[in-house]
Structure 1
């Protein structure tokens, strides 16, 4: 089943504003740029800008500034920016040379991204640019041609804009782009309308794989249906070659810290939960084994601190996946031994790191998934401190404050009724607090 993606919205139609510079000449490092590994961004800048051939007809210096701004953004947001340096360069060059609208979008992404976390951003100045970016991307999604190259660039623009909005805007902006990009994702998938999406086939197509990641993780975190039904099985025989090929890291892990194999696991668990299926012991054991046996993060940094943090992020995701399996899929309460053990391991990992943008920015969704399992008051206090710290530090991740309101309601109701938390409590509190 494919959930309807027709939005009924009218795409806003502002034109490119030539008075707004593509990228500020004053690129900022952010208030807490990578907590130390500045060498990652500096190396990425050198690689991206090497051997560039500038278009003589382009606005002088526009391309170098866009490249520098976009790399600053990737240096901030990616868990392993060095692994993404060539992807970043190709993205900018491809979109910068694809006409005014495409150049405008990539310029806005670079401009906004380079400012996120800065004092200028905290002051609220980029709000106009965020609106411009949303309007331009929606317009492109609504007017793109039937050519695959144009469709892919439109979807890529939407994915990049969603990443910006996840850090800087209300959740509704990301939701809108996710819905309006869905028809293009379906066209690029090249299957009959209404057919399930073979998740294994997407791993060789980074753009489609990244959109599927957003759709699946959004569904998992919000407990809402995904826009598409994803076909995935455990253990896999039909797709064994493809699945084995996913054992290495990839763009999702370099950017977000989540291994490819873990997305397969989340997709399968989300499918079971959506179908109302309770897994048998063999299925649970297979999923547990897959999660436990995930290979360690193969990062590019020689900095020991960065390497440790990246490993912590992956281990935290593994514990979050186990809690989702036990509570959301199997129906366990927060008081069951296996839930308590996974929560204890997660909190031990979290407490082994200092609060800060790295690693907390890569753990936002795990905090949301783990919080229903937190029974001890001190664990709940740490979760609130780490989630709220991202917003109070530089006014990013504003939606984390709403998630904390929801979880406070969940915890208060369960404590008042003298019972453990159930996963269904989250949906009840979301409706009470958010009306959703």
Structure 2
């Protein structure tokens, strides 16, 4: 007798399909799934109150996630259908504020952007990712609580419960590091209150470490470096360079510790976070100081990292998250 399969067209079966799609996607493409499970669980439970169109987009997202996790053929009809649905959103309007778009509508427009863009990384070109980020930039800015004349506070973005804002700001930061192009927006790094400073510096999972393995505190340092590189190029003063060195050195790897955690996997996760720290040092010396690859500081950073990497057992996950940080030393001008 053949196994019975749930009919995904029935509304009451939505939850099992969403859970299955997320599980398939996360095991391959999310750095640390245990950190995102509560966020996804809240989102999935909220789906019961979503309108039919939103529920349809959610199903498309998870169907596409399932398809991507099962094949290397990235000419997927599911993704094409999803892209058409996303294209109908106000994100295609380059000036949302001009037409009176409220912050609530902008947030709703960004609702699925993080899922769509993260999949685009797998099935699209790098240029297509940058293009979509550019399209979302004015919508993201409208969705942020700061007044239009001020800068977006990156610390507020990375501590918000709105994961779509958290994702956009973090990716804006990382794409600037990888491509050496200006960020789509400029950010302020001011602490919102004295009580928040120790929380931010504790690396307790306020940002997107669970997605790409970048230590949370390092994300703020990278944003500061991006702004300095845009403003001063490789002519940053020595005092600022020394401060940045200290900030990078203070970024420690963080892993989840529990009875169900694989210690070998945790060692791999530590290496990914170390790789991002190494990339930040390379960016500091080659980008902001103008050093070349033969600079003694560069050679020391690279040699230390390669020795540590050689002592860790290779495996697909989380090794796939090493691609970008290891490539950065080859990309820095």
- How far apart are residue 323 of structure 1 and its match? 0.5
Residues 63 and 117 of structure 1: CA distance in aligned 2, closer, same or farther (over 3 Å): closer
1:116 corresponds, among 68, 87, 97, to 68
Measured in 2, the distance between the counterparts of 1:155 and 1:336 equals: 43
Q: Which among 64, 76, 82 is matched to residue 28 of structure 2?
A: 76
Name the CA distance, whole Å, in 2 between partners of 1:250 and 1:75: 21
- Report how far residue 116 of structure 1 moved: 2.4
- Cα distance change of structure 1 residues 251 and 96 upon mapping to structure 2, 3 Å threshold: farther
Where 1:211 maps in the other structure, the secondary structure is: helix
Q: Quick one: distance in 1 between partners of 2:321 and 2:37?
A: 19
Moved more, 165-174 or 220-229: 165-174
**Equivalent residue in structure 2 for 1:196, among 151, 161, 164:** 151
What does residue range 310-321 of structure 1 map to in structure 2 within 5 Å?
310-321=269-280
Residue 352 (structure 1) aligned with residue 308 (structure 2): no
**TM-score with structure 2 setting the length:** 0.85
Give a deviation string over 1:108-164, Cα, whole Å, max 9, x none: 22112123242xx2244x521111122211212448994544432321311110001
Secondary structure of the residue aligned to 2:11 is: coil
d(CA) in 2 for partners of 1:106, 1:176: 23
Which position in structure 2 is the counterpart of 1:160?
A: 115
Unaligned runs of 5+ in 2: none
> Offset of 1:251 from its aligned partner?
4.5
On the 8 A contact 1:105/1:133 being kept in 2, the answer is yes
Q: Aligned pair in 2 of structure 1 residues 89, 146: CA closer, same or farther (>3 Å)?
A: farther
Segment of structure 1 superposing worse, 278-287 or 163-172: 278-287
Instruction: Write out aligned runs for 1:67-106 (5 A).
Output: 67-95=19-47, 97-106=49-58
Structure 2 match to 1:245: 199
* Cα distance change of structure 1 residues 181 and 123 upon mapping to structure 2, 3 Å threshold: closer
- Counterparts of 2:129 and 2:26, CA distance in 1: 18
1:303 partnered with 2:252 = no
Single out whichever of 308-317 and 175-184 deviates more from structure 2.
Answer: 175-184
- Matching residue within 312, 318, 324 for 2:283: 324
CA distance in 1 between partners of 2:275 and 2:55 (Å): 38
Q: Take 1:76 and 1:97, find their aligned partners in 2: how far apart are those partners?
A: 29
Aligned to 2:179: 222
Q: 1:286 aligns with which of 243, 246, 258?
A: 243
TM superposition shift of 1:215:
0.8
- CA deviation after TM superposition for structure 1 residue 185, in Å: 1.2
Q: Secondary structure at the match of 1:218?
A: helix
Task: Tell me how large the CA RMSD over aligned residues is.
Answer: 2.6
Match of 2:147, SS state, is: coil
Q: Which residue of 2 aligns with 1:22?
A: none
2:61 aligned with 1:61? no
Choose from 280, 294, 297 the match for 1:335: 294
Question: Residues 141, 174 of structure 1: CA spacing in aligned structure 2 closer, same or farther, 3 A cutoff?
Answer: farther
Which moved further from structure 2: 142-151 or 273-282?
142-151
What corresponds to 2:219 in structure 1?
263
Kept after mapping to 2: 8 A contact 1:66/1:92: yes
TM-score (structure 1 length as normaliser)? 0.66
Cα drift, residue 273 of structure 1 = 0.4
User: Post-superposition shift, 1:208?
Assistant: 2.0
> How far does residue 287 in structure 1 lie from its aligned partner after superposition?
1.4
Gapped runs of 5+ residues in structure 1? Answer: 1-24, 27-56, 373-422, 425-436
Tell me how far apart the structure 1 counterparts of residues 131 and 57 of structure 2 sit (CA, whole Å).
17
Work out whether residues 159 and 206 of structure 2, in 8 Å CA contact, stay in contact via their aligned partners in 1: no
Q: Distance in 2 between matches of 1:220 and 1:330?
A: 15
Q: Which moved more, 1:300-309 or 1:260-269?
A: 300-309
- Number of residues paired by the alignment? 314
Alignment partner of 1:61: what SS? helix
CA offsets 1:182-227 (integer angstroms, 9 cap, x no match): 1221112133335322222323214322211111111110111111
Of 106-115 and 214-223, deviating more is 106-115
Residue range with higher mean Cα deviation, 64-73 or 345-354: 345-354
Residues 154, 220 of structure 2: 8 Å contact kept:
yes
Matches within 5 A, 1:13-92: 59-92=11-44
Aligned counterpart in structure 1 of residue 229 of structure 2, from 273, 283, 300: 273
